[in-house]
Amino acid sequence: MANKNLFASAVAALFPATDARNREAAPAYAYGPQAKLAQLAATGTLSDSFYADAQTHLAEALEAIRAVDPMFAAKAAVYARRSGAMKDMPALIAAHLTVADPDLSVRVFDRVIDNGRMLRNFVQILRSGQVGRRSLGSRPKRLVQQWLERASMTRLMAAATGNDPSLADIVRMVHPRPADAQRRAFYGWLIGKPYDLAALPAEIAGFEAWKRDPSLPLPEVPFEWLTAFPLSAEQWGVLAGRMGWQALRMNLNTLARSGAFAVEGVSAAVAQRLADPEAIARSRVLPYQLMVALDSANDAVPLKVQAALEDALEIAVSRVPKVAGRIVVCPDVSGSMSSPATGYRKGASSKVRCIDVAALVSAAMLRTNAEARVMPFEVRVKDVRLDRHARLAVNAAALAGLGGGGTNVSAPLAKLNAERASVDLVIIVSDNESWVDARRSGATQTMREWDQLKRRNPQAKLVCIDIQPHGTTQAAGRPEILNVGGFSDAVFDTIARFAAGETRDWVSIVEQTEV
């Protein structure tokens, strides 16, 4: 019989050698420029994370943006905003384009800067000097002017909430031309200049009247304008019916603290709104955001409202597609996955951790794909039994409760090989910072284990979902391997399309985005 070690070494020599080091200083594969930007655009946080501070994340994001063709950057921005509901990265790319390709920035602007929050992000980034300018400049100034001039009064009033910069600051910067007396009065009111009271929008005139006489009915203005004033439980109950869907799920504890749920009918009305499938679809809520609400809701929030949040979570992931074949989902439950999914922000860090997102992806895939196997891992694979019919939140909590230990991305593949398991699709959900299985040279252990599995299962495919991309992966360089970033429902669709052979890689998916 031929020497197995000799020929195993010969085969291993054909694997792609590592060309980078990850955050744990272990060998890894660097993403190409386009792949790196695609990862960062859909998941990148500009806040502190487990492995890097905010300034490092910003520097790496700018390096990735500048390394690609402006058209690809534009497509990444549109994809991240429209499909991934991201905020900071699309605004950063849009600001960069005003310097790199001003004509292209005009085409991208309206598709990315689609609300007041995004407008403030865009202006803030431009003025920071991070993309090469500290003032808006003529063309960006005109883009902001046009946004203000085209926005409806309802949209302008919604945009008048928030600071640094505020909408008033932006109006003072760009001096939009009011098309009529109403807009002229609104701008004057907004920036503290003289205005014609009779020309004010009825909602703002009502707000000013209410401030003088709080016994009047609550005016129809953004609820944030009213919360600075003392409100009764009944008035908070009224606001519960007026808030947008996203604001409602974020303010449940505030409503409870203010006594709104003690008002007859409010609890039932809030529960009905939260579980409304059409409202959930319109809000573009991400599944992990519903986990935030579930985790944050305190005991004062009525049980029927908490149950409605669970219903909303089920609805939000109900579009997870069924994937043919034998599926194995491997959530990383190591210690580094305990960091907030969107990074650390003073006073605003998300309670949802990377491990919670990995657990949710696994629970969602199990729900839709009855035969899926879930193999959580850290240094080794952890044993867990899940009921696919259980609530998503229950299964996600069970997986997240396994957290701790070092990162060994190859562990589930090694176990599958030891079992000689038959597999069609393996999905690894991790931060990719594997170090327990580090090798001195050659390919990563993940690639070696994958090659062994692939030779036994020729049609098998591997998807690596990166929750917090840092520019490297443990598996790359083959057509049957997809590295994808994100935690929106767009990722589930991407997995299904890749498994079905409809797409080659994630860069090509971003490339298909229209600008």
User: Is 345 within the bounds of a domain?
Assistant: yes
User: Is 297 within the bounds of a domain?
Assistant: no
Given 221, 240, 267, the domain boundary residue is 221
Q: What is the pLDDT of residue 242?
A: 93
Do residues 405 and 24 lie in contact, with contact meaning Cβ atoms separated by under 8 Å? no
One domain for residues 347 and 418: yes
One domain for residues 22 and 120: no
One domain for residues 460 and 362: yes
In angstroms, the CA 343 to CA 153 distance is 34
Q: Which residue has the higher pLDDT, 255 or 349?
A: 255
Domain assignment of residue 443, given as a range: 16-30+321-511
Q: How far is CA 400 from the centre of its chain?
A: 19
Helices (H) and strands (E) counted in the chain, each on its own, are 26, 8
pLDDT > 70? residue 51: no
- Report pLDDT digits (tens) over 206-225: 999 999 999 999 999 999 99
User: Is 60 within the bounds of a domain?
Assistant: no
At residue 60 the predicted structure's pLDDT band, cuts being 50, 70 and 90, is: confident
Query: What's the domain count of the chain?
Result: 2
Looking at every residue in the chain, the average pLDDT score rounds to 88
One domain for residues 479 and 343: yes
One domain for residues 26 and 123: no
Do residues 92 and 57 lie in contact, with contact meaning Cβ atoms separated by under 8 Å? no
User: Is 136 within the bounds of a domain?
Assistant: yes
Q: What is the pLDDT of residue 7?
A: 42
Q: Which residue has the higher pLDDT, 351 or 124?
A: 124
> How would DSSP label each residue in 387-435?
-TTS-HHHHHHHHHTT--S---TTHHHHHHHHHT---SEEEEEE-----
Q: What is the pTM of this model?
A: 0.83
Q: Which residue has the higher pLDDT, 196 or 317?
A: 196
| pLDDT-above-90 percentage for the chain | 55
Q: Which of 87-91, 140-144, 235-239 has the lowest mean pLDDT?
A: 87-91
One domain for residues 202 and 326: no
User: Is 98 within the bounds of a domain?
Assistant: yes
Question: Looking at residues 383-388, what average pLDDT do you find?
Answer: 87
User: Is 65 within the bounds of a domain?
Assistant: no
Given 221, 246, 269, the domain boundary residue is 221
Backbone φ, ψ for residue 481 (5° rounding):
-115, 130
CATH number at residue 413: 3.40.50.410
pLDDT > 50? residue 9: no
Residue 328, SS3 per DSSP: strand
Q: What is the pLDDT of residue 90?
A: 93
Q: How many CB atoms lie within 10 A of CB 394?
A: 12
pLDDT > 70? residue 143: yes
One domain for residues 23 and 121: no
Given 190, 221, 252, the domain boundary residue is 221
One domain for residues 24 and 123: no
Of 156, 244, 249, nearest to 204 by C-alpha is 156
One domain for residues 475 and 374: yes
- Report pLDDT digits (tens) over 72-101: 999 999 998 988 778 888 999 999 999 999
At residue 338 the predicted structure's pLDDT band, cuts being 50, 70 and 90, is: confident
User: Is 51 within the bounds of a domain?
Assistant: no
Q: Which of 50-64, 277-291, 334-348, 392-406 has the lowest mean pLDDT?
A: 334-348
- Report pLDDT digits (tens) over 477-499: 889 999 887 777 678 888 888 88
One domain for residues 185 and 332: no
pLDDT > 90? residue 56: no
pLDDT > 60? residue 430: yes
One domain for residues 355 and 422: yes
pLDDT > 50? residue 10: no
Q: Which of 71-85, 178-192, 409-423 has the lowest mean pLDDT?
A: 71-85
User: Is 231 within the bounds of a domain?
Assistant: no
Q: Which residue has the higher pLDDT, 15 or 493?
A: 493
Question: Looking at residues 141-164, what average pLDDT do you find?
Answer: 93
One domain for residues 128 and 197: yes
Q: What is the pLDDT of residue 14?
A: 60
